[in-house]
């Protein structure tokens, strides 16, 4: 038996082991090769393409935003951008002699011109692909002015390229700021209409893809692909630039006159739901929406459109809805009577009317004219919470209106199961419920529009303009009827009562002679952190005109007016009147003086002190106060007048003016009626007449210790009791 030598066995084992190792290594190599060819290949190919091709994004021009008459409110202008071809930048950094320039040196030259930090520019010049290789190009700055671009051109820096770009401009500055909104640094809408209609405005960017050499120059005979950009659509708003101007002018003045924190105004067409004006003060400049002088959070707060994005407690303007519910349910008639003693006890809780001594017996129309809380508490009890909430739901409270604007609030409505007798009583006169201005205006529009509720909207149409300048309508926004909320009969009757609020009630300061104007006042205590804030109010006035067939409805809401005069009839009412007067002239809404149904208000004026003036001066002052004069006697100094200064007479009354050659030393003064006047108004009149005033309480004039018309000496002290009204 032959036995194989032990050495041979060892050699074989070694050979087998070596073969196994070689097989294993080959397997790994083949596996790796397969992985690279099959799995990793697409990514490698993409990296290669990235290095030898130039893929340039060509920005589309953002669409314009126009007012309803085609006047530009937001446009995109031609500016420039700064890009860097990094291959050239890197080669310049590694060059010898005079051609050498580092990234830090490039950054030091261009950063100050672009208002950037050198660190930011250096970081951009060191940009890498995902695989760690240098990028072919990077954008350093966009939307820079031509002056900045020219300064960088003069530097002739390697790899730094300047090309065209677009920038958003708001030609009217802060005009309509919160409605328009603004865009971010990437050209995307970030607030307002710019954000809501961003997709329509943005368009589709184009691309240029071509093969380049090491210096990013296009190669001869290379395949290039050019996709032209598609510019964005233009947005035509329902806003009328002229009416918007009237609103902004009026609330700008109102902000100062009333020492208020904020004011919001809306003008709307109740038949179409088109918003003709929407203004907020204070505002901001969308050309510079985040100035460096303001913290970002504070700047963002100024972007808020309070007409849509903020809830508030409406106060007595909600009585319009309560009245509509009662009328529609046939719970009241012209003969219905209410009695106000100044307060009402509800489930053991005494709730006061704003007029603490009470209104006495009133008709249904009078509780709306006088804004009587007790009358509306009784009305709320008649209606019942289930029925009242049915109308809250029908008028859209507690839900969004679907206005085409971002971030709409939906108001705050207490769950019906939590509404007890006290909550029902207070909600009936406008306390304990929150709405947005646009939500309330949508409800008021239904009253103005024969009971039909229309969805509000800010955009009238979307249009496209081609390269040849031809325009076509992409989409027309038609009025959308949501529902019939109340009957035509209820709507028309309620509008008649609201007209009497302006002619006979607390809304007299919004009256314009010759026009049917319906309105309602509302003054509510401001709610902060779930509690009523002492000494802080929201004063609101709403109006419709002409009230027999409304063409416009208006709301002005003042947040935190001067606590010495916060009553909406005195603060918001005159602002609404100013907007209406300008709008009537602009829209050519003519007065209907011949209409015998129009209850003409005969205003009273206080005869001013003119004694001691020349006859010409006195005549001018009296006529400015709508008082006619008969001149008696000779001389050039007014010696006396009849009736006496301070006496109240109807406008266009004729008084006697007696001339002499000296000043009357024994002047008597007629005591005016200070009822319903504010402290400021009372003091102004008293000072002009030479009377002294002593006040008791706070609010507006309720009674005085010397009867109106009584003749007294100058320097007499009149004691006046003030009372805080709700309206």
Note whether 690 and 645 are within 8 A (CB): no
| Other residues' Cβ atoms within 10 Å of the Cβ of residue 682 | 21
User: From CA 655, how far away is CA 159, in angstroms rounded?
Assistant: 87
- Given the residues 316, 371, 539, 557, the one annotated as active site: 316
DSSP β-bridge partners for residue 144:
80
Three-state secondary-structure class, residue 524 = strand
User: From CA 262, how far away is CA 312, in angstroms rounded?
Assistant: 13
Classify the C-alpha dihedral 168-181-477-475 as positive or negative.
positive
Q: Is 76 a catalytic residue?
A: no
DSSP letter string, 669-712: EEPPP-TT-BHHHHHHHHHHHT-EEEEESSSEEEEESS-TT-EE
User: From CA 559, how far away is CA 690, in angstroms rounded?
Assistant: 35
| Other residues' Cβ atoms within 10 Å of the Cβ of residue 35 | 11
User: From CA 320, how far away is CA 311, in angstroms rounded?
Assistant: 18
Distance from chain centroid for Cα 72 = 19
Note whether 267 and 275 are within 8 A (CB): yes
Cα angle, residue 599 at apex, residues 593 and 604 outer, rounded to 5°: 100
User: From CA 621, how far away is CA 615, in angstroms rounded?
Assistant: 10
User: From CA 281, how far away is CA 432, in angstroms rounded?
Assistant: 26
DSSP letter string, 325-354: HHHHTT---TT-EEEE-SEEEETTEEEE-S
Catalytic residues, by residue number, are: 316
């Amino acid at each position: 038996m032959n036995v194989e030598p032990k050495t041979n066995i060892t050699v074989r084992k070694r050979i087998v082991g070596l073969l196994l190792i070689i097989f294993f290594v080959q397997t790994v190599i083949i596996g790796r090769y397969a992985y690279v060819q099959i799995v990793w290949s697409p990514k490698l190919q993409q990296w290669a393409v990235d290095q030898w091709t130039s893929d340039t994004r060509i920005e589309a021009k953002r669409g314009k935003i126009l007012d309803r008459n085609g006047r530009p409110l937001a446009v995109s202008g031609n500016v420039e951008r700064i890009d860097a071809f990094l291959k050239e930048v890197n080669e310049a950094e590694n060059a010898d002699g005079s051609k050498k320039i580092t990234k830090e040196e490039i950054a030091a030259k261009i950063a100050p011109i672009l208002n950037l930090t050198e660190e930011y520019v250096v970081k951009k010049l060191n940009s890498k692909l995902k695989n760690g290789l240098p990028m072919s190009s990077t954008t350093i700055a966009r939307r820079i002015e031509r002056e900045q671009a020219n300064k960088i051109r003069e530097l002739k820096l390697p790899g730094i390229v300047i090309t065209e770009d677009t920038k958003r401009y708001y030609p009217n500055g802060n005009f309509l700021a919160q409605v328009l909104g603004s865009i971010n640094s990437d050209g995307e809408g970030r607030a307002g209409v710019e954000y809501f209609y961003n997709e329509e405005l943005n368009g589709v960017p184009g691309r240029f893809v071509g093969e380049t050499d090491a210096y990013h120059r296009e190669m001869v005979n290379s395949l290039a692909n050019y996709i032209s950009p598609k510019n964005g659509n233009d947005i035509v708003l329902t806003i009328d630039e002229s009416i918007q101007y009237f609103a902004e002018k009026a609330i700008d003045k109102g902000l100062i006159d009333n020492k208020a924190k904020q004011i919001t105004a809306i003008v709307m067409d109740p038949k179409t739901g088109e918003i003709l004006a929407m203004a907020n003060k204070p505002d901001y400049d969308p050309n510079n929406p985040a100035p460096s002088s303001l913290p970002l959070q504070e700047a963002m707060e100024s972007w808020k459109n309070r007409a849509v994005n903020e809830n508030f407690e409406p106060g007595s303007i909600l009585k319009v809805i309560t009245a509509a519910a009662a009328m529609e349910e046939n719970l009241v008639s012209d003969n219905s009577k209410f009695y106000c003693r100044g307060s009402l006890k509800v489930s053991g809780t005494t709730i006061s009317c704003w007029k603490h001594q009470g209104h006495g017996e009133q008709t249904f129309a009078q509780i709306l004219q006088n804004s009587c809380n007790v009358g509306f508490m009784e009305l709320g009890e008649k209606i019942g919470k289930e029925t009242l909430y049915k109308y809250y739901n029908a008028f859209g409270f507690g839900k969004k209106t679907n206005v085409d604007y971002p971030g709409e609030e939906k108001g705050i409505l207490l769950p019906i199961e939590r509404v007890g007798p006290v909550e029902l009583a207070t909600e009936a006169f406008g306390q304990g419920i929150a709405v947005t201005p646009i939500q309330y205006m949508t409800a008021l529009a239904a009253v103005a529009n024969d009971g039909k509720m229309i969805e509000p909207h800010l955009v009238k149409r979307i249009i496209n303009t081609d390269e040849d300048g031809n325009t076509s309508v992409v989409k027309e926004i038609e009025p959308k009827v949501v529902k019939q909320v109340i009957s035509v009969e209820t709507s028309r009757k309620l509008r008649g009562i609201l007209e009497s609020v302006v002619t006979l009630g607390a809304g007299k300061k919004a009256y314009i002679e010759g026009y049917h104007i319906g309105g309602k006042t509302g003054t509510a205590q401001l709610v902060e952190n779930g509690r009523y804030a002492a000494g802080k109010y929201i004063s609101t006035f709403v109006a419709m005109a002409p009230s027999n067939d409304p063409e416009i409805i208006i709301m002005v809401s003042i947040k935190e007016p001067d606590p010495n005069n916060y009553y909406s009839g005195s603060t918001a009412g005159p602002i609404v009147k100013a907007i209406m007067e300008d709008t009537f002239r602009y829209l050519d809404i003519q007065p209907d003086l011949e209409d015998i149904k129009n209850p003409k208000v005969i205003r009273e004026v206080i005869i001013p002190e003119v004694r001691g003036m020349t006859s010409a001066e006195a005549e001018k002052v009296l006529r400015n106060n709508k008082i006619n004069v008969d001149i008696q006697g000779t001389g050039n100094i007014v010696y006396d007048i009849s009736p006496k200064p301070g006496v109240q007479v109807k406008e266009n009354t004729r008084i006697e003016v007696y001339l002499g050659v000296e000043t009357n030393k024994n002047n008597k003064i007629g005591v005016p009626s200070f009822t319903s006047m504010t402290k400021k108004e009372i003091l102004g009149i008293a000072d002009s007449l030479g009377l002294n005033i002593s006040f008791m309480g706070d609010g507006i004039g309720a009674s005085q210790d010397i009867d109106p018309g009584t003749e007294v000496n100058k320097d007499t002290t009149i004691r006046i009791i003030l009372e805080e009204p709700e309206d």
